Every structure is written in C-alpha cells, then in structure tokens.
Structure 1
C-alpha cells in the first residue's frame, strides 16, 4: 500500500509514522570510531549511587537548547531522561515526583536484554540459536502443524521471523492458542511479542535455572543494575528498574558486551549479529534490536516496507531497544552516546516505534550539533 494512502485515514499511530518515514530527511551520516571505545569510556562503580558527570560546557553542546528540552520532555509525559557521553552523565532530568530510585517498566525495550542473554547462553554452550525451538520448549508450543513448528528456530524468535500470526493482541495471547501458523519460518517478518516471550523458557530450560536467576547472575549483578523481571499472565516477562539501571545496560551495549574490562558477552560475532541486520525482510532489525541508518524499514503492526531509515533524524549508526509507551534505550557508537527515556506514551501510540523517536532526535541532534 503506498504510504500516502495513510493520509486518508484518521491521524492514528500508523499515519503518523508513515508520514514521518516518508517526509523526514537530511539525516547526518556518521562514521564509527575505528580505534574502539573501551579505553575512553567511564563505568560507574557497583553497589553505589556514585556516577561521574560531565559539564555540558565541556562538550560544546547548545546549553540553551538543552534547557529548552526540559519542557518538551515534560509535555511528552516523560518520567526520566538521561544522556550519557563517554559513560558519564551529561544530562539527567526527572518529572512528576520521579527520582533516581523510582522503578518503571521497560516494556519491549527488555527484548534487547533478552537477546543479549541468549548470546551468553550460547557462549556457555547451553544452546545454539540454530537449534529448533521445540528442543527447549517441547512439541506443541504453537498451534502450527508439527512440520511447520519444527521449522522454527531460536534465531527465528530473535529476528521476529517465526511466521506465527502477529495479529493477536498481547493481552489476549493465551499460549499456545495464540501462536498460529501464518507463513513458513524465515519467510515473513512481523513484530510478534508472543513468540518472543517464550525465549525466557528457552533460556530457563537450557540453563536449568529460572530466567530471573540466570539473568541476575550473568548481567544484572556483574554490572551493578537493580530491578527484576516480572511475568505478566498470558503475556511477557517485563523488566522493572530505575532509569540508571537502564543506562547501565545501554553502556554495556555501547562497550560491545564488556563492563569496563570485564567480559559479560565475549562472543563478538554474536554481538555484531545482534546490532546488525539479521535477515533480508526488515533491514532495520537485528536480534530483538532496532537499527537505524538502513535503506528500508518495517514497523510493528504493518507489512509495509518503507524505503527510508527507521529514525531519519538520528545518527545512522544508532541502534536501540524500544518499548511500549516510549521506553527507550538509544546507543550511538560513533558519538559514544547512550540516551534513556522512561515514561508514559508521548503521543497517541502505545507501540514501540512512534513518531516521538524522530521528533526527539530532531531536537537532540540540534543540541549536540550532529
């Protein structure tokens, strides 16, 4: 369906995103740092609230424009917003009685952390992402015919290419009845939360531990995060933490899986696969991670392929963990940036990719002169 046909529909999320993708332009191309970033990044110590800051004046940013960002964020129902530069806090703002200790949900931004944890499990020899998912979930974990179910691998779950029907609302997803065959695995990209959700069981069954305990041992405790996964009935495992814990995970991503010199995910091949195009259907999707700067993109709830980057106003090398109601972890390797946003929905959409992404980065790039 041509993008301009969405103008005939009332201004819903779909039309907003379609217009954003079609009209947004002038994205700035940036080049990743070839020398690496590990030696120049700061990492906050564990088991403390201490976190070094860097004055905006030292960065050459537009301080007046940064101050102007505050009322904008407030108007967009933001609760917490953090910018890390080289790992240090350059900007941190809280709204509506939210504080550094306040807990909020990550929604689907937690998908990226789950994919990271799958990489650790593979690194430890507990699973292989090319394994058939039923090896860990048993037969009949979907409503698909057995021969179709046996085509689905962990990689398909990581890349949203299971071929299962994404039209069932998450809150009506009673497993396995909501996991209905739509197309052969690997032939259709669709943002299907129900199929992703079962990766927690894959990890638990492969490791012999609860998903939460495995996560705490492998990611949360080593990098000093707080928070926990909470299972929502007939839906996702959802992570809850404070904003700084979200920033810690973003910093771990920025440093390619190492916390300082401590390797958390040492499989560099897997990490590069996670933050690069994972299949040829949606170029803007890695392993449960959104990618910017690609020649085309797809978004949740649509099968349309837009011939534009996902977030044209953002740096081309940015990748992101994006969740419902605009929970955001943006990582920009070339600029050594991590940007965090928690809060309620910034506009009428409740999905993970919204017009807010591009609008926000239009302001941020002006502040940073990107």
Structure 2
C-alpha cells in the first residue's frame, strides 16, 4: 500500500462563503499536495472556529478535517484518554492502525454504508446491477427468511433505502416500501449483490473504483476481530480523517475527481442524496439527509419523529454516520466537507446539533 510520508499543505487565498460551487470549480488534492486556506481570509470567525475545534476535542474526537471548496480550512488531531478498564474500549477495538504521520486509521462503522452506495452507483452505471431488480436475481432464492413470493418483491433499491420490510433476522415484517427500519443485516446483502454482479471481492472492487482513484491510500476493508466471519457486520471500512474527507469531496463533486467521472452514472448522486422512499424523508441511498420532515429511528425502530435531522445545519447537508459519531458531512450550498473520527462524545446524540450550531456561527465571520 502506498504511504505518503509528508503531505504538503499549501496556503492560498479564498473568498467568503457564497452560492453553490459547481464541481468544475472545486480544488482536488494530489497524493502529496493538499492546499489549505486561511480561515480569516476566507471570512470565518477565527475565534469561533477555534471554539468549534476545542468542542470537538472535548467530545473525544481523534481527528477533524474541514474542507472548503476542496481546500483544507481546518485539520486537527488529538490523542484522547482511553476509557477505564471497567468499560469497553470501543475506540481501541475499532482502531486498525496509523498513517505514516501517526494519525489513527479507524473502522468508521456505518459510514461504510455510504461507500457501498457509491460502489452500487458505479455498478449501475456499468450496467452490472439494476436497482429495480429483485435481490434474488443476484443472490438466488432463499437469501432471506421470507417466503419466495415475499422475497421476490424485495429489490436492490430496497436494500439501499432500508425499506425491505424485513426484520434484522431477515424475516418478513411487512411489504417492501411500506416499512422503514434501519437494518444492517439487510443492508449487508448489498455487499453480496456487488460481489456477485462484479465477480470481485469488496476490497478489490473498492480499490479499483474508489480508493486508488482519489488517493485514499490509508483506506480498506478489514475483517473485524471482535465478530465471527458469518455475522452480517463482520467486515468494516477503515480510513483516516483525511481519506474520509477525500471521499466527501468526491461526493460534493457529484462523483467526479478532477476531470474524471468515476461514476459514469449522471443521475445517481442526486438520486442517492434525495429521499429514497416516502416514510423517512431523511434517508436516501444509505445516506442521511437534512431538511426532511420525518426522521427514522435506530435499530428495531419503525417509528418516525419530526425532522429535520440537524436543525442547526443547512437544509442540503447530507451525512454518512457511524457508531461513536464517526461522520462525513457534505454541504453542497456551502461547498463544505467535514470528517470526524474518534470516540463516543459525552454529548452523545446532541453532537450533530451542537457541532453545526457552532460551525455555522463561525462561518459567518
């Protein structure tokens, strides 16, 4: 695996936050050079930004990267005190290694789902999968515990939109598209669909279509040492804060990197980042969406609450989110990408709201 011993940051001038920035106007880093911008010159409240970063540190973050138009606006890392011996050290369990400059590489939990969504978009663009086809076309009959008649109605799109109508044990709960429930075991079938349709394993596929293309050299899939190989959550996507920011930048560019169209599927990003069904308006294709009127709950929960997902954030924010509050936020209207790695924050579920309240305040100078 290629290691970058010293990623050069070059500081350039930048204008204040403005209208939506088109993909052609974004800056893309190379493997060795990533330009930075001065927050004050970019119209940010420098003290407010420092307060935001201090908040991130207090919330047990190991790394925060903020990009504006592709350039690094802020990049900060911290060593955090491990949990007591009496509690489970999930951060330690989910840290798979370190980059060449000593920053942690972490299993980003359900952030992986948004990576898989991108791979599905590439596969669709190549004509290898059809989101409207039954899952059984790729995995064969009997991949779930529902009846053949019920199973044939579940499409690949239902896997990506969490609307299969299945329980976590893959048993029938209701008709597909009639129930929304966050369901990792059902989602994991999409990995099998990709591997069957492409005749490639997940690591090779991700390297070919994503990580080597955009310089995510510290990112790969691993077998989680705390699970058995038959579990639906047995594989995890490991990455660094900088690599995750690269992924967010590519999404901001609607699947492009420099002049290269990695997706070959012009409508996919906009479909993936729009409500994928009518029940939970805050969920696309394995991406969380802001601005919707309904927000789905967690595991084994079919109830909706009133939205939006993050009231303090811009309505067009989308997010890849994982356990311990691993985040990759993308805000097209502000040309912002934010990645966050680390442990579970003391504020818990309030992290999104507090973080974005402080960020928006700092961005206004």
**Coarse TM-score class (shorter-chain normalised):** 0.7 to 0.9
Counterpart position of 1:58: 41
- Equivalent of 1:89 in 72, 78, 101: 72
What is the CA deviation profile of residues 266-299 of structure 1, one whole-angstrom value per residue up to 9, with x for unaligned ones? 3121211001111101011100000001222222
- Equivalent of 1:359 in 350, 354, 357: 354
**Following TM superposition, by how much is the alpha carbon of 1:65 offset from its aligned partner in structure 2, in angstroms?**
1.4
Counterpart position of 1:264: 262
Counterpart position of 1:241: 239
Which whole-Å CA distance do the structure 1 matches of 2:194 and 2:24 have between them?
32
What is the CA deviation profile of residues 179-232 of structure 1, one whole-angstrom value per residue up to 9, with x for unaligned ones? 121111111000000111121111010001111111110111111112111234
- The answer to which structure has the higher helix fraction is 1
**Following TM superposition, by how much is the alpha carbon of 1:304 offset from its aligned partner in structure 2, in angstroms?**
2.6
Runs of 4+ in 1 over 6 A off after TM superposition: none
- Contact in 2 for aligned 1:100/1:244 (Cα 8 Å): no
Q: Which range moves more in the overlay, 187-196 or 139-148?
A: 139-148
Cα RMSD, aligned residues only: 1.8
- Equivalent of 2:206 in 215, 221, 233: 215
> Aligned pair 1:229/2:221, yes or no?
yes
Which whole-Å CA distance do the structure 1 matches of 2:153 and 2:74 have between them?
47
Which whole-Å CA distance do the structure 2 matches of 1:79 and 1:197 have between them?
27
- Contact in 2 for aligned 1:143/1:180 (Cα 8 Å): yes
Q: Which range moves more in the overlay, 320-329 or 226-235?
A: 226-235
Which whole-Å CA distance do the structure 1 matches of 2:150 and 2:75 have between them?
48
Counterpart position of 2:28: 43
Counterpart position of 1:116: 118
What is the CA deviation profile of residues 321-352 of structure 1, one whole-angstrom value per residue up to 9, with x for unaligned ones? 11111000000001000011001111375xxx
Counterpart position of 1:106: 108
Which whole-Å CA distance do the structure 2 matches of 1:324 and 1:110 have between them?
11
Counterpart position of 1:200: 191
What is the CA deviation profile of residues 96-131 of structure 1, one whole-angstrom value per residue up to 9, with x for unaligned ones? 078664211111011011011001001111110111
Normalised to the residue count of structure 1, the TM-score between the two structures is: 0.83
Counterpart position of 1:23: none
Which whole-Å CA distance do the structure 1 matches of 2:152 and 2:277 have between them?
19
Which whole-Å CA distance do the structure 1 matches of 2:315 and 2:303 have between them?
21
- Equivalent of 1:135 in 134, 137, 142: 137
Which whole-Å CA distance do the structure 1 matches of 2:255 and 2:182 have between them?
25
**Following TM superposition, by how much is the alpha carbon of 1:143 offset from its aligned partner in structure 2, in angstroms?**
1.2
- Equivalent of 1:274 in 263, 269, 272: 272
Q: Which SS does the other structure have where 2:304 is aligned? A: coil
User: Mind listing any 5+ residue stretches in structure 1 that lack a counterpart?
Assistant: 1-29, 167-177
Q: 1:315 to 1:93 in 2, by over 3 A?
A: same
- Contact in 2 for aligned 1:313/1:362 (Cα 8 Å): yes
- Contact in 2 for aligned 1:100/1:242 (Cα 8 Å): no
**Following TM superposition, by how much is the alpha carbon of 1:246 offset from its aligned partner in structure 2, in angstroms?**
0.3
Q: Which SS does the other structure have where 1:141 is aligned? A: coil
Alignment of 1:245-324 (within 5 A): 245-301=243-299, 302-324=301-323
Normalised to the residue count of structure 2, the TM-score between the two structures is: 0.84
